[in-house]
Structure 1
Amino acid sequence: MSTSFSVDAFVRKWRAVELKERSAAQEHFLDLCRALGEPTPAEADPAGTFYCFERGATKTSGGEGWADVWKRGCFGWEYKGKRKNLEAAFGQLQQYALALENPPLLIVCDLDRFVVRTNWTNTVSEKHEFSLDDLREPRNLQVLKWAMSDPERLRPGKTRDDLTEDAAAEFATLAQTLRSRGHPAAQVAHFINRLVFCMFAEDAELLPNKMFVRMLEAAKSDPGQFQTLASTLFAAMRSGGLVGFERIDWFNGGLFDDDEAFALDPDDIALCLRAAKLDWSEIDPSIFGTLFVRGLDPDKRSETGSEYTDRDKIMMIIEPVLTRPLLREWAAVRENINALIEPVRKAAEEAIAGASNFPELAEEVRAVESRLASKPQLELFQDLIKAKRVRAVDSVRSTLRAADRAYQEAREQARAMFAAFLARLRAVRVLDPACGSGNFLYLALVELKNVERRVSIEGELLGFPPEFPAIGPDALRGIEINPYAAELARVSVWIGEIQWMRRSGFNIGRQPILKPLDTIECRNAIINEDGTAAAWPAADVIVGNPPYLGAKLLKRRLGVQMTEAIRALYQGRLPGFTDLVCYWFENAREMIEAGTVKRVGLVATNSIRKNTNLPVLKRITGATRIFEAWSEEQWTVDGAAVDVSLICFGDAGTEPARLDGEIVGSINPDLTTGIDLTSARPLPQNRNGAFLGIQKSGPFDVPGEVARAWMREPTNPNGRGNAAVLKPYWNGDDLTGRPRDVWLIDLPIGLSKAEASLYASPFRHIATTPDDDGKTIEQLRAELGERAGPRWWEPHWPRPEMRSRIEELSRYIVTAETAQHRVFAWLSYPVLPDKNLIVIPRDDDLMLGLLQSRFHAAWALRKGSDLEDRPRYTHTTTFATFPFPPGMTPDVSVEQARAEPAAGAIEAAAVQLNAAREAWLYPSDLIIEEAEIVEGFPVRRLPKDDAARRQLVRRTMTALYNERPAWLIELHLALDAAVAAAYGWAEDIDDEEALRALLDLNKARVG
């Protein structure tokens, strides 16, 4: 530990010192360490690996380092002489913060004044400033002590996210107020964006002397003047000019294209003043845009399902698609430069060593040394010098000059390689074809600028002169259909560019301050107004978060005409029934295949990897490769969980594939690795073996008490009672939970409207019951067009083929389309299945046993999709592709299948399993049976009393499989062993091996 040195002694000593920076800086810092009782750099880190003076490169310009003092994870510290410009010192630290590993504190000092600024990512920067004499105040001394040993104590409490939400909330309120006064939404958006940028410009010191706040203060006392004052300011910002006697820079960029302003009342002005008190220079453009556009346009893009993507998720796309490939390319270039320069550098240094003993060559030696940018360690070459003493001066001179020429030639080649890489880097273009309010574009710009800065800094290490940042918003391309979001995307990018330049210690260009951003276009990214395909601008990289609208909602949200036009454009490439996001993936794939785009990173709901969405990922893996993916990421937006997949594809060089953060051999189209079950194809033996239940798409279901009341009514004018058109109706919840006692209005298919109306009460219910938007089914069907069915009194998909099959059977098998556990059970007609049930029209226990085995469950889990945390059974990809055991395929008659040796054991195990589950769900001592009021319907199984009801409510199929009691496990083990025997497998075969065998069997049957 350093020798003790009191604070008073430190203040007295350094108050009197007038030494220049270079002479005093290190002694000043050592004295400060002693005064604070902190170890000096040499005491704490003799090797100088994490705490040292002069951290950085010896630069060709003659400077000695990037920071006068540096301590990893604590600070970068720059000194200046007394009364010198500390802002210039701070700017230097900012420029080299990246090279200093982004320390959390940036400290500047002129021996008499200390300025400590916080530099944590995603926090609002704080500034602590005090003088030498102020060190006698304990709180100032504490700041320096924390800076040296416990910087976390200085971390600001408010994050940039907090600040951004506060700022967005204020202006969302103002936007809604202006719209409620009848102002057009687009004009309100333009005006609010101007106010937002003015507040940012003021805090970023682009507007002089707090001009915007002063304008608001003036309007506060006379609100009627606001419109005139704001118009005057906007007019000056349009092309540069005077406001009073103060000069305003040229801003424009399209944001200040005219001087139009709205009148504000006192409450509006008070709101603006509250907002102006925030530090707008610190807002986070990566979330500000989305938060703000929600308030500006409450519908935002919810009509197409778009959602806010947080910074971390965006970087999980941008890093593998943009940042890492550029840094890999730079690393290769840097290695080539070093390989080119180092041998000739070493030869030149050896030549210098050989010439150093000849005074007549001193001038030439100095010239070569200056070009090498560092003096050689001559003591390393003493033996060489002695050996060459006897050589003639001309020979040594010749060697020296040859080495110098070789070095200069290598330097020129290296400089050309460096310049060529910088040119390529600066030519990179990033496209977000669904850019929203600019989240991805802003962070992509920041990453490009960070890479450029890193390359420049490492170029200095190689001896090249510093480079001024040249990458700017012109590197970005965007398409956005929402005009509010499109303009805000431009504002977010402008703000982000200015923030980066200021934080990195660079001045911004001012002719104009806002460069036009016409490359962010406001239009449809998929289809033009004339029905042709929308073209995307050329780019190297595509990133973004396209809208998530599901296929079944397209017509309702986009309209029938638009939906059918889009589907027609992609006919033959994508299924007609595919989610909206898939069209963005297909366009990006097409550009990769055409060679106009290198890499793509897009966000989608995790349903993209299954069912009718899967073909787009199959096309992608057929044309290129998925090199990084996160199959299922969750985060919360507006209180709701959103499940997404993050998918990066294209040319990633030799980088290994990564799935969910782990290196894998390859990534399958369904975002799995290893066995590629997406290659399994539908089997002819399974055709028409499973069906969806009835899709109502209207108010066709009623509670049991309503159905029974209707059945008690007198016969209708057609002479028939309502029981003829009512059936018990089950969905997935009835299977996985307790039966809900819901009935379906089951009018015979093909009745005319007049005939249907004769069933008076049921028909009236269908015709008059509104949906959540207050519309009747007739109105909704009319909006959705003819394909939705003009016969609105019939279910949208009545499934006549499925129905004809189950009516012939004593019972039929069902499984919930979406459920936590894959369970198959029995239903019997006249109970009808909803679309949330998958129907297998078989009444034999053999088929139930095969379906309930763990092998089919494993296949279903991989081949199906999921909804949040619940797997979804999709019969078109799961049942249709599943290879049943030989001799037991769905096309084989039950009698033939039962003749197989393993069939008896499977049936017996299935019977036992089903009986045990039913006994647990409906214990005889808790249940009474009650006949329906009309014959022909199943008896009702009801709790015998309230105590039984309380027990039964906890007895559900889901609860049973969550608990998995020993008896259930044993019954399943017996069933699985019997099914394994039917395949000829060992009963303890693991799931992965079984899946591989099943896939081989599928391929063999297809072939």
Structure 2
Amino acid sequence: MAQFPYVNGDLFKTSTRIPDFNRSMREALLEVSAFDWSPISPAIFGSLFQSVMDRAERRRQGAHYTTEKNILKVIGPLFLDELRAEFERLKALRIAKIARLTEFQERLSKLRFLDPACGCGNFLVIAYRELRLLELDVLTEIFAGKDQLILDVSALSKVDVDQFAGIEIGEFASRIAETAMWMMDHIMNSRLSLAFGKSYVRIPLRKSPVIRHDDALDVAWESVLPPAECTHILGNPPFIGHALRDADQKAGMHRVWGRDGQVNRLDYVTCWFKLATDYAQKNRAIRIAFVSTNSICQGEQASILWPQLFRSGARIFFAHRTFEWLSEARGKAAVHVIIVGLDFDRDGSRQIYDYDDVKGDPHMSIVPQINSYLISSPQIFIAARSRPPAGMPKLFQGSKPADGARLKGPNGKYVTTSNLILDEEDRKAALARDPGIAKWLRPYVGGQELISGKWRWCLWLKNATPAELKSSPEIQERLARVKHGRLKSPTDSVREFAATPWVFTQDRQPSSSYLAVPEVSSETREYIPICVLDENVIGSNKLLILPKPELWIMALLTSAMHMAWMRTVAGRLESRYSYAPNVYNSFPWPVVDDADKTKLEASAKAIVAAREACAPATLEDMYDAGGMPVEVRKAHKANDRLVDRLYRKERFATERERVEHLFNLFQTRSAPLVVASRKEKRKSGKKS
């Protein structure tokens, strides 16, 4: 035992039971002991830990461990890029260079980092490594060209693990974080030894990272790291949507946000933003950067969350717009995220990182400001609007049947039956039992059916006479189940409809053809497929309806301009687009005259014709992200160019340019004007 150096440190402060070994375990231990671990990053432990986690538990905790490439997207603009740039400036000095570099190294040793959802410590480990690498470059520059022997290499390094703190709810993960930090310390000490030709090992361990095993929504962050000492907060808090929170997580949300207003519509990750900005009120020099679900900067959440954070004095100083968050673990989750960096009381330019492809690399642009939708535009919050702009038809949700009944099946298990709504198999079986019901069957289409082409059917009985209803045993059986289900409903209005089980509880079916907009659509699609449907096709409550459609409106709704607006202000269902009337109502419509409307109608007809030419392909096939038919894409691109020119003559190079232009219009218009004479149009264009 005397051959082994004394380690000490909190890692070994408690007794550990030595596991029973067998031959295969011994051989495995010898094998990994012989392996050269020097090029392996300790951050791999986070990925290994996620790989062995139960999938359901991983989802419950919102745990997503991360590639180093994505961690660098956080720490780069948060602190590392600025420090690296300063180091390069100091290197170029001719006067007082060594003194300035020494002061710079001292400043590095004063930085303090807190990750309040640190997991296995990946962010802390990579941040520590990069800080040590920067310090090593500083030391190399200080001692460059000097021939004197460095007797005590341990006196060179001033950056240490005790500059890093974390909070982690999982005990095993928090222990991994501590171990990984010490391992990275050992690796960086070896790099220092190699650079200066003298062995340096920080053993026994005298300094430790502060990793608190606790609930970050319950513990006082000040007890982990005093705000006066902290310089940066960073991390990847849990991604847990509103509907997936368990009882403890809901209680944590209430502790942070309270129960008033709409705050409990927010994602779980927003708790960390709130606590971080509260913590920073005691030291407004702190900078914050978190990875987050992109939903906090979209739809209703943007107008709920950000006014509260901005009132604290926080400002967004850098942001990565939506990209795919990659994990190195098996069974990884496909998550689309953003990164938001916050500071306080600082002037100067801001940085936006855009992605042409969510899986690609970003390109950075310097902007004067970043708003809550992560674009360079004044702070605007798109509050819900119940009415469309003047002169525009109203967009509304389709009809809802409320026809389910929970009944006990032959095996004793309860099943929920659908009685007014039938899939294709159910329709055929019902017709075989009672061919007379054919006159009451109508196609029933929601967003999913519209896109997939797998339409369902409904019994549309609103005009049936009592005698006709009684003449069909099939209908009578179904209506009895509908009545039973509605009587069991907790909703008063649904129970009232138990007396009339043959009608939908919400009947919004128009008496004319209508424009149909799917409520939910895949985020991978460039365009939401929007169609005109016949009045005999019953639109479900998962479809948004615009009666008596004018094709010039369809051309505008299916344009790149409207899609850019939708992607910015619409909500999300998981990561999919969730279109709502507010997207339509708040859209800054272009000013169009009759000649423009004629061109737009022709453009919409060209899109429809291109689709028909691809029959029998479904909309799902035609709007597949990687396989959009040439004819359909060509028609859409021509429509995009036409609509773009209604807003300005110059071409829009990126989607962000479109959104920024639309936000400026939204801000300057008190009431959007749609139909105008050419003279009025020219005036409006000058104002815009």
Using the TM superposition, give the Cα deviation of residue 258 of structure 1 relative to its aligned residue in structure 2, in angstroms.
0.7
When residues 955 and 444 of structure 1 are mapped into structure 2, their CA distance, relative to the original with a 3 A threshold, is closer
* Inter-partner Cα distance in structure 1 for 2:429 and 2:374: 52
Using the TM superposition, give the Cα deviation of residue 913 of structure 1 relative to its aligned residue in structure 2, in angstroms.
4.7
Question: 1:805, 1:841 within 8 Å by CA — same for their partners in 2?
Answer: no
The residue that corresponds to 1:822 in the other structure is 528
Question: 1:817, 1:838 within 8 Å by CA — same for their partners in 2?
Answer: no
Task: Kindly indicate whether residue 338 of structure 2 is the aligned counterpart of residue 645 of structure 1.
Answer: yes
The residue that corresponds to 1:581 in the other structure is 269
Using the TM superposition, give the Cα deviation of residue 845 of structure 1 relative to its aligned residue in structure 2, in angstroms.
4.5
Question: 1:296, 1:484 within 8 Å by CA — same for their partners in 2?
Answer: no
Among 847, 851, 872, which residue is 2:557 paired with?
851
Output one character per residue of 1:250-278: Cα deviation in whole Å (capped at 9) or x when no partner: 43514451142232344444443443342
When residues 656 and 843 of structure 1 are mapped into structure 2, their CA distance, relative to the original with a 3 A threshold, is closer
User: 3-state SS of the aligned residue for 2:319?
Assistant: strand
Using the TM superposition, give the Cα deviation of residue 841 of structure 1 relative to its aligned residue in structure 2, in angstroms.
5.0
* Inter-partner Cα distance in structure 1 for 2:378 and 2:124: 34
* Inter-partner Cα distance in structure 1 for 2:659 and 2:284: 42
Task: Kindly indicate whether residue 629 of structure 2 is the aligned counterpart of residue 963 of structure 1.
Answer: yes
Question: 1:710, 1:722 within 8 Å by CA — same for their partners in 2?
Answer: no
When residues 266 and 805 of structure 1 are mapped into structure 2, their CA distance, relative to the original with a 3 A threshold, is same
* Inter-partner Cα distance in structure 1 for 2:458 and 2:171: 45
When residues 263 and 735 of structure 1 are mapped into structure 2, their CA distance, relative to the original with a 3 A threshold, is same
When residues 614 and 452 of structure 1 are mapped into structure 2, their CA distance, relative to the original with a 3 A threshold, is same
Give runs of aligned pairs for residues 504-519 of structure 1, distance below 5 A.
504-505=192-193, 506-511=199-204, 513=205, 515-517=207-209, 519=210
User: 3-state SS of the aligned residue for 1:549?
Assistant: coil
RMSD: 5.1
Question: 1:677, 1:999 within 8 Å by CA — same for their partners in 2?
Answer: no
Among 657, 661, 664, which residue is 2:366 paired with?
664
* Inter-partner Cα distance in structure 2 for 1:747 and 1:508: 83
The residue that corresponds to 1:881 in the other structure is 586
Question: 1:731, 1:834 within 8 Å by CA — same for their partners in 2?
Answer: yes
Using the TM superposition, give the Cα deviation of residue 477 of structure 1 relative to its aligned residue in structure 2, in angstroms.
0.8
Structure 1: runs of 5+ lacking an equivalent: 1-242, 343-413, 749-756, 768-777, 795-799, 889-899, 923-950
Letter aligned with residue 741 of structure 1:
W
Among 665, 680, 686, which residue is 1:1000 paired with?
665
TM-score by length of 1: 0.50
Letter aligned with residue 657 of structure 1:
Q
When residues 421 and 534 of structure 1 are mapped into structure 2, their CA distance, relative to the original with a 3 A threshold, is closer
* Inter-partner Cα distance in structure 2 for 1:745 and 1:580: 41
* Inter-partner Cα distance in structure 2 for 1:452 and 1:971: 51
When residues 676 and 840 of structure 1 are mapped into structure 2, their CA distance, relative to the original with a 3 A threshold, is farther
Question: 2:241, 2:268 within 8 Å by CA — same for their partners in 1?
Answer: yes
The residue that corresponds to 2:243 in the other structure is 552
The residue that corresponds to 1:522 in the other structure is 213
Whichever structure has more helix as a proportion of its residues is 1
When residues 576 and 838 of structure 1 are mapped into structure 2, their CA distance, relative to the original with a 3 A threshold, is farther
Give runs of aligned pairs for residues 242-261 of structure 1, distance below 5 A.
243=1, 249-261=6-18
Letter aligned with residue 493 of structure 1:
M
Output one character per residue of 1:869-902: Cα deviation in whole Å (capped at 9) or x when no partner: x98353255213113456x9xxxxxxxxxxx745
Letter aligned with residue 351 of structure 2:
A
* Inter-partner Cα distance in structure 2 for 1:422 and 1:986: 52
Give runs of aligned pairs for residues 441-590 of structure 1, distance below 5 A.
441-460=124-143, 467-505=155-193, 506-511=199-204, 513=205, 515-517=207-209, 519-527=210-218, 537=225, 538=227, 539-554=230-245, 558-559=246-247, 562-563=249-250, 566-567=253-254, 569-570=256-257, 575-590=263-278
Among 507, 516, 537, which residue is 1:813 paired with?
516
Among 686, 697, 700, which residue is 2:388 paired with?
686
The residue that corresponds to 2:286 in the other structure is 598
Using the TM superposition, give the Cα deviation of residue 475 of structure 1 relative to its aligned residue in structure 2, in angstroms.
0.9
Using the TM superposition, give the Cα deviation of residue 297 of structure 1 relative to its aligned residue in structure 2, in angstroms.
5.7
Question: 2:192, 2:200 within 8 Å by CA — same for their partners in 1?
Answer: no
* Inter-partner Cα distance in structure 2 for 1:602 and 1:848: 39
Using the TM superposition, give the Cα deviation of residue 494 of structure 1 relative to its aligned residue in structure 2, in angstroms.
1.3
Question: 1:289, 1:492 within 8 Å by CA — same for their partners in 2?
Answer: no
When residues 646 and 439 of structure 1 are mapped into structure 2, their CA distance, relative to the original with a 3 A threshold, is same
When residues 331 and 635 of structure 1 are mapped into structure 2, their CA distance, relative to the original with a 3 A threshold, is closer
How many matched pairs? 599
Among 737, 740, 744, which residue is 2:454 paired with?
740
User: 3-state SS of the aligned residue for 1:251?
Assistant: coil
When residues 250 and 308 of structure 1 are mapped into structure 2, their CA distance, relative to the original with a 3 A threshold, is closer
Using the TM superposition, give the Cα deviation of residue 740 of structure 1 relative to its aligned residue in structure 2, in angstroms.
0.8
Letter aligned with residue 244 of structure 2:
L
Question: 1:287, 1:311 within 8 Å by CA — same for their partners in 2?
Answer: no
Letter aligned with residue 545 of structure 1:
N
* Inter-partner Cα distance in structure 2 for 1:995 and 1:420: 42
User: 3-state SS of the aligned residue for 1:576?
Assistant: helix
User: 3-state SS of the aligned residue for 2:233?
Assistant: strand
* Inter-partner Cα distance in structure 2 for 1:285 and 1:904: 62
The residue that corresponds to 2:119 in the other structure is 436
* Inter-partner Cα distance in structure 2 for 1:994 and 1:313: 26
Task: Kindly indicate whether residue 110 of structure 2 is the aligned counterpart of residue 427 of structure 1.
Answer: yes
Higher relative contact order (CA 8 A, sep 6+): 2
When residues 265 and 501 of structure 1 are mapped into structure 2, their CA distance, relative to the original with a 3 A threshold, is same
Letter aligned with residue 253 of structure 2:
I
Question: 2:603, 2:635 within 8 Å by CA — same for their partners in 1?
Answer: no
When residues 324 and 920 of structure 1 are mapped into structure 2, their CA distance, relative to the original with a 3 A threshold, is closer
TM-score by length of 2: 0.70
Letter aligned with residue 544 of structure 1:
G
Using the TM superposition, give the Cα deviation of residue 664 of structure 1 relative to its aligned residue in structure 2, in angstroms.
1.9
Larger Rg: 1
Question: 2:513, 2:532 within 8 Å by CA — same for their partners in 1?
Answer: no
Task: Kindly indicate whether residue 445 of structure 2 is the aligned counterpart of residue 704 of structure 1.
Answer: no
User: 3-state SS of the aligned residue for 1:962?
Assistant: coil
When residues 852 and 459 of structure 1 are mapped into structure 2, their CA distance, relative to the original with a 3 A threshold, is closer
The residue that corresponds to 2:60 in the other structure is 303
User: 3-state SS of the aligned residue for 1:301?
Assistant: helix
Task: Kindly indicate whether residue 298 of structure 2 is the aligned counterpart of residue 610 of structure 1.
Answer: yes
* Inter-partner Cα distance in structure 2 for 1:604 and 1:844: 40
Question: 2:6, 2:203 within 8 Å by CA — same for their partners in 1?
Answer: yes
The residue that corresponds to 2:413 in the other structure is none
When residues 609 and 723 of structure 1 are mapped into structure 2, their CA distance, relative to the original with a 3 A threshold, is farther
User: 3-state SS of the aligned residue for 2:272?
Assistant: helix
Give runs of aligned pairs for residues 33-432 of structure 1, distance below 5 A.
243=1, 249-295=6-52, 301-327=58-84, 339=95, 341=96, 421-432=104-115
Give runs of aligned pairs for residues 625-644 of structure 1, distance below 5 A.
625-634=315-324, 636-637=326-327, 638=330, 641-644=334-337
Letter aligned with residue 578 of structure 1:
L
When residues 485 and 728 of structure 1 are mapped into structure 2, their CA distance, relative to the original with a 3 A threshold, is farther
User: 3-state SS of the aligned residue for 2:283?
Assistant: coil
When residues 303 and 246 of structure 1 are mapped into structure 2, their CA distance, relative to the original with a 3 A threshold, is same
Question: 1:630, 1:647 within 8 Å by CA — same for their partners in 2?
Answer: yes
Letter aligned with residue 444 of structure 1:
A
When residues 999 and 902 of structure 1 are mapped into structure 2, their CA distance, relative to the original with a 3 A threshold, is farther
* Inter-partner Cα distance in structure 1 for 2:176 and 2:200: 24
Question: 1:825, 1:914 within 8 Å by CA — same for their partners in 2?
Answer: no
Aligned residues with identical type, % of pairs: 19
Structure 2: runs of 5+ lacking an equivalent: 194-198, 354-361, 405-415, 463-474, 499-503, 673-688
User: 3-state SS of the aligned residue for 1:965?
Assistant: helix
Question: 2:117, 2:167 within 8 Å by CA — same for their partners in 1?
Answer: yes
Question: 2:45, 2:176 within 8 Å by CA — same for their partners in 1?
Answer: no
Output one character per residue of 1:188-227: Cα deviation in whole Å (capped at 9) or x when no partner: xxxxxxxxxxxxxxxxxxxxxxxxxxxxxxxxxxxxxxxx
* Inter-partner Cα distance in structure 2 for 1:998 and 1:428: 38
Using the TM superposition, give the Cα deviation of residue 741 of structure 1 relative to its aligned residue in structure 2, in angstroms.
3.1
Give runs of aligned pairs for residues 933-944 of structure 1, distance below 5 A.
none
Using the TM superposition, give the Cα deviation of residue 566 of structure 1 relative to its aligned residue in structure 2, in angstroms.
0.7
The residue that corresponds to 1:21 in the other structure is none
When residues 621 and 952 of structure 1 are mapped into structure 2, their CA distance, relative to the original with a 3 A threshold, is same
Question: 2:373, 2:568 within 8 Å by CA — same for their partners in 1?
Answer: no
